[in-house]
Amino acid sequence: MNGFQTGESVFLKVLFRTGIGTSLRVLRFFLLTILALFLGYCSNLLHPNLKEDGNSSSASQLLSLVAYSPNCSGDGAFWARDLVSNASYCTQAHLAASGQYVNVYAENTLPNTLDYQNISFEFDSQIHPRLTSAFGTPNDLDKDGKVTILILDIRDGSLPGGSFVAGYFDPADYYPDSIFSRIRSNYQDMLYLDGVQLVDLRNRDLAAGKPDTLLATLSHEYQHLVRFQYEALALAQGGNRDETWINEGTSEVASDIAGYSPQSARIRCYRGNMPGACARGVNGTALFGSPLYNSVVDYAFSYPFMKYLYLSAGGSADERDLFFRASVQGIAGFRGTDAVNLFETFRRTSAAYTTQDPIVGELGPAAADTFRKMFASFLWQSIGDNTPDFVQAGTDTTGSAALLQSLESVMFRFPLIGINMDGIDLEGLYLPYRLSDISPLWTLNPGQFQFVRVDRQNVNASPGLFLIKKNFSGTLYSMQINTEPYRAGGISFSYARTSSDEETTAGIVLPDSDEPNPVCPHDFLKNSASNRTTILSPF
């Protein structure tokens, strides 16, 4: 008892020397400290196998979590993520609108500049039914049959006029809450939208006759919400996480499916010829994304390709939704986790295969072959042409004529823009000008391509290196594409991540941008959420 008597004596002295308000805070800290010490003792008694870095959990580790365990309860009280410190904080909001499938809350400190009833109406009448058809429904963790949308001033450390986090789904909300984690959970189907910079961009876009950027962002995040339950199940069973370019690309198309298309900023960035990070467009980059998938160009590449694939999956919305739903939920043991699995779901669900279209033979016997042909077809059509002069795979010159005919058949069967004008917005990939050429690169990583004003040759190349050529107005252009379906260095992660303890503490790194650019921090949050379950949990 001597230790507790000493602590009591110290506490009484502090209580006497400070004011009542300060004393109450000291009292709270004192009691939580005692609780932490007690739990540290009990955890070692009851859970001797609880380890971190090979050592048993200590009271000091539990003490470090005391600061992250305040109460956040009551109607309108929610945990939100500070993306700079990567820790949760409690914010107060009020119910601004309610619908059949949604409750819209607004942070109390936001100016009342949004029509919240319209957001609720759009969700019930358009977003929910269309995206339910395309992807499915969320978990309904709290069994109320609704998605909670919290509109708040997202803490992302952004500066005016650059990149900012427009919204997010926090995978931590998928797991029960724990007071022993710096990342807390509301344990409900929930989406977060920015009520400051996103609203400013939305107002400018609407004034310019563009789609509602806030509703497009809501639709984007809804795909992440629905998808995560299937990814989490796969991970729990020892499977792989979904590639970022597939997840983000699908979410970008979700905005179009919901009716808020096109994502014109992504299309402009794809073709380049503009100042800043998008100067050369996607030319010279990889479909699978930069090493951290933290470039504006990464989004600009994955969005139109995923839209092209979605449009190619069938002639009707139902046929296309069947493919997307299978890529999210899975079919016959396959999900859209990487390029091969994504194209396996395409082969199993697209009308081309279910109707035994002759194009099946042209697309090859395996999913990897289908990816190669479809990827090359998309890239060549994205410069505004579908009749190349020459095509070669690797160093195989004898088979080049047959490959040229095959690729032309694929482009004819899967045009960038359909006969009924579906995908007409993809015309912006090459109008009013096409992708600019770049100085030739010596090597290309998987998923990477280059469009150059040079007569390139495939020397000592693998069969996966496609070479396409054409003479445009007296000038020869070459496109080389590394069609290997697996990215170099493993799967892609968004933003700055390490394999150390920094994963749970490091803040977000926003991509460079010379204009207001909404980004999604899904993988940043997902990676942190996966670690929150490994933080001390003695019960």
Per DSSP, 510 falls in state: P
CA–CA distance, 431 with 473 (Å, rounded to integer):
17
pLDDT for residue 33:
43
Instruction: Report the candidate in 26, 7, 43 with the shortest Cα–Cα distance to residue 180.
Output: 43
pLDDT for residue 189:
98
CA distances in angstroms from 275 to 272, 430, 435, 440, 513, listed in the order given: 8, 17, 14, 21, 10
CA–CA distance, 479 with 396 (Å, rounded to integer):
16
CA distances in angstroms from 297 to 124, 228, 283, 416, 513, listed in the order given: 32, 24, 10, 20, 10
Beta-carbon contacts of residue 401 (< 8 Å; ≥ 6 apart):
none
**8 Å CB contact between 297 and 277:** yes
**8 Å CB contact between 193 and 247:** no
CA–CA distance, 135 with 329 (Å, rounded to integer):
7
Instruction: Report the candidate in 260, 117, 171, 139 with the shortest Cα–Cα distance to residue 494.
Output: 171
Instruction: Report the candidate in 459, 429, 431 with the shortest Cα–Cα distance to residue 444.
Output: 459
pLDDT for residue 43:
35
**Three-state DSSP state, 320:** helix
pLDDT in tens, 177-210: 999 999 999 999 999 999 999 999 999 999 999 9
> Which pTM value belongs to this model?
0.85
The Cβ-side half-sphere exposure at 386, using a 13 Å CA radius, reads 15
CA distances in angstroms from 420 to 180, 315, 332, 477, listed in the order given: 56, 9, 32, 31
CA–CA distance, 127 with 40 (Å, rounded to integer):
47
Tokens 């690309």 map to which residue?
Answer: 249
pLDDT in tens, the chain (539 residues): 444 444 444 333 433 344 444 444 444 444 444 444 443 443 333 333 333 333 434 444 444 444 445 689 899 999 999 999 999 999 999 999 999 999 999 999 999 899 999 999 999 999 999 999 999 999 999 999 999 999 999 999 988 888 899 999 999 999 999 999 999 999 999 999 999 999 999 999 999 999 999 999 999 999 999 999 999 999 899 888 899 999 999 999 999 999 999 999 999 999 998 888 899 999 999 999 987 787 899 999 999 999 999 999 999 999 999 999 999 999 999 999 999 999 999 999 999 898 889 999 999 999 999 999 999 999 999 999 999 999 999 999 999 999 999 999 999 999 999 989 999 999 999 999 999 999 999 999 999 999 999 999 999 999 999 999 999 999 999 999 999 998 766 544 433 333 333 345 678 888 888 788 788 888 788 877 655 443 333 32
pLDDT for residue 523:
78
- Expressed in angstroms, the distance from the first to the final Cα of the chain is 26
Per DSSP, 357 falls in state: -
CA–CA distance, 376 with 374 (Å, rounded to integer):
6
Other beta carbons less than 10 A from residue 28's beta carbon:
12
- Any alpha helices (H) in 350-388, and if so which ranges? 351-354, 359-362, 367-381
Strand 102-107 versus strand 147-152 pairing type: parallel
Beta-carbon contacts of residue 381 (< 8 Å; ≥ 6 apart):
411, 415, 416
CA distances in angstroms from 520 to 154, 218, 494, listed in the order given: 12, 11, 9
- 194: which 2 tokens? 């920015």
Q: What angle do CA 110, 115, 116 make, to 5 degrees?
A: 75
Is residue 319 packed enough to be buried (19+ CB in 10 Å), middle (13-18) or exposed (0-12)?
Answer: middle
